[in-house]
């Protein structure tokens, strides 16, 4: 499999093999990765702390920046407490290490991110799958295993098909005791909810101690790292029992400072989120003009296939010749083995999106390819 060797990146463009391309790629949904305030915070952090704490937080590797970032993440997502992990992937491992003390069974959406499955398996939980987005299928499994303690594990937003998980219905399948709904909101944070709080706020779920969340700081927040968020007792148990947390070095302090700056921007100013939502609408119209079916949710990810592999490659190459990078990827959970996964972010302009629309219409016509729905 080939991969792109990026030589320079802004929120909207990347340079590869010496060519600058307009990119509809990645998960930098608010463009925060290159935001001057975020970059400046990282630079200040480098000057003050150096690169790494070189120790785990429970020995000598904790800083006030890590503590404050946890508080601010909890406030943003309206969870009681948060704990930082090195990545979103390891956040799922930490959550499952804590859950496995009281929950013997993990019930996963069939298209849940691979890290959730790996985390539950590594934690020694028995793993079962329910039909993608189907609470009825989840309920059947919950009823079978309720006496062992059950956790439902799902993505909040499925980045490969743009679907939002039916969290209220999933929560309703769970018994009151020894049960948890763990939402991996890597693609919902900074995208959904009035201030980018994520899928739980978007769906206006009531407070519930059975609800917890994991996330990455490497997508919408534009930085690096991960977190588990939930009730205070649950987060305390992650801190107490999770080896992934206890025996590893935290996110570098300059990155924690950058993430704090990114979250502060989001909390005090909704203009980035407004720009993202306007661009999602413009993108939907642009793809529709090229006869590409789209979802109706405010999600910046658009996936689709064309009738044949040759046509997909031809469209991809046509766009590339016109200076547009439209990722054609192989990744589990999408509408095909290989599919287009285009993302739009808050930094794209309407001119960028119009250029994509016009080029895509020409590319599809030249390839004689009518797209298939996700």
Ligand X SMILES: Cc1ncc(COP(=O)(O)O)c(C=O)c1O
Contacting residues toward ligand X, per CB under 6 A: 87-89, 113, 115, 155, 159, 184, 186-187, 216, 218, 226
The C-alpha angle with vertex 132 and arms to 128 and 134, in degrees rounded to 5, equals: 90
**Between 81 and 186, CB nearer to ligand X:** 186
Q: How far is the CB of 153 from ligand X (least distance, A)?
A: 11
Q: How far is the CB of 349 from ligand X (least distance, A)?
A: 26
User: Which residue, judged by CB position, is nearest to ligand X in the bound state?
Assistant: 88
| CA 78 to chain CA centroid, nearest Å | 18
**Between 244 and 360, CB nearer to ligand X:** 244
What are the strands, taking DSSP E only, across the chain?
6-9, 13-16, 19-23, 81-85, 105-109, 126-130, 150-155, 157-158, 163-164, 179-184, 211-216, 226-230, 301-304, 324-325, 328-329, 339-343
- Across the chain, which distance is largest between two alpha carbons, in Å? 62
**Between 111 and 352, CB nearer to ligand X:** 111
**Between 108 and 159, CB nearer to ligand X:** 159
**Between 26 and 371, CB nearer to ligand X:** 26
Q: How far is the CB of 164 from ligand X (least distance, A)?
A: 13
Handedness of CA 35, 36, 42, 43 (dihedral sign): positive
Q: Which value, in Å, is the radius of gyration of the alpha carbons in the chain?
A: 21
Q: How far is the CB of 159 from ligand X (least distance, A)?
A: 5
Q: How far is the CB of 184 from ligand X (least distance, A)?
A: 5
CA distances (Å), origin 307, targets 230, 314, 327, 371 = 44, 12, 17, 6
**Between 70 and 184, CB nearer to ligand X:** 184
Give me the sheet containing 211-216, strands edge to edge.
Answer: 81-85, 226-230, 211-216, 179-184, 150-155, 105-109, 126-130
Q: How far is the CB of 88 from ligand X (least distance, A)?
A: 3
Q: How far is the CB of 251 from ligand X (least distance, A)?
A: 10
Phi-psi region of 17 (alpha: psi -120 to 50; beta: other; left: phi over 0): left
**Between 221 and 235, CB nearer to ligand X:** 221
Structure tokens at 153: 């594990």
- Alpha-carbon gap, residue 165 to 182, rounded angstroms: 11
């Amino acid at each position: 499999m080939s991969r792109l060797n990026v030589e320079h990146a802004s929120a909207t463009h990347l340079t590869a093999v010496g060519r600058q391309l307009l990119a509809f790629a990645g998960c930098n949904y608010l463009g925060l990765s290159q935001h001057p305030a975020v970059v400046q915070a990282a630079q200040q952090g480098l000057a003050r702390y150096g690169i790494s704490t070189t120790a785990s937080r429970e020995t000598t590797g904790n800083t006030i920046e890590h503590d404050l970032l946890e508080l601010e993440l909890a406030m943003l997502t309206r969870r009681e407490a948060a704990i930082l992990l090195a990545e979103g992937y390891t956040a799922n491992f930490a959550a499952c290490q804590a859950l496995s003390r009281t929950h013997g069974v993990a019930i996963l959406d069939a298209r849940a991110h691979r890290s959730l499955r790996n985390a539950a398996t590594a934690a020694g939980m028995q793993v079962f799958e329910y039909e993608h987005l189907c609470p009825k299928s989840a309920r059947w499994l919950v009823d079978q295993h309720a006496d062992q303690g059950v956790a439902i594990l799902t993505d909040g937003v499925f980045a490969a098909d743009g679907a939002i998980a039916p969290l209220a219905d999933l929560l309703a399948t769970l018994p009151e005791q020894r049960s948890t709904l763990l939402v991996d909101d890597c693609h919902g944070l900074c995208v959904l909810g009035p201030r980018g709080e994520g899928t739980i706020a978007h769906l206006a779920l009531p407070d519930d101690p059975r609800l917890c969340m994991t996330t990455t700081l490497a997508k919408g927040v534009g930085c690096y790292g991960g977190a588990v968020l939930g009730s205070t007792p649950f987060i305390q148990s992650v801190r107490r029992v999770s080896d992934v947390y206890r025996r590893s070095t935290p996110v570098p302090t300059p990155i924690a400072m950058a993430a704090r700056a990114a979250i502060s921007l989001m909390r005090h100013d909704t203009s980035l989120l407004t720009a993202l939502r306007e661009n999602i609408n413009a993108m939907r119209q642009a793809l529709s003009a090229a006869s590409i079916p789209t979802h109706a949710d405010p999600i910046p990810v658009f996936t689709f296939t064309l009738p044949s592999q040759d046509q997909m490659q031809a469209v991809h190459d046509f766009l590339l010749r016109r200076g547009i990078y439209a990722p054609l990827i192989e990744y589990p959970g999408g509408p095909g083995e290989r599919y287009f996964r285009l993302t739009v972010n808050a930094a794209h302009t309407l001119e960028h999106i119009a250029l994509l629309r016009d080029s895509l219409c020409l590319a599809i016509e030249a390839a004689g390819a009518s797209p298939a729905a996700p």
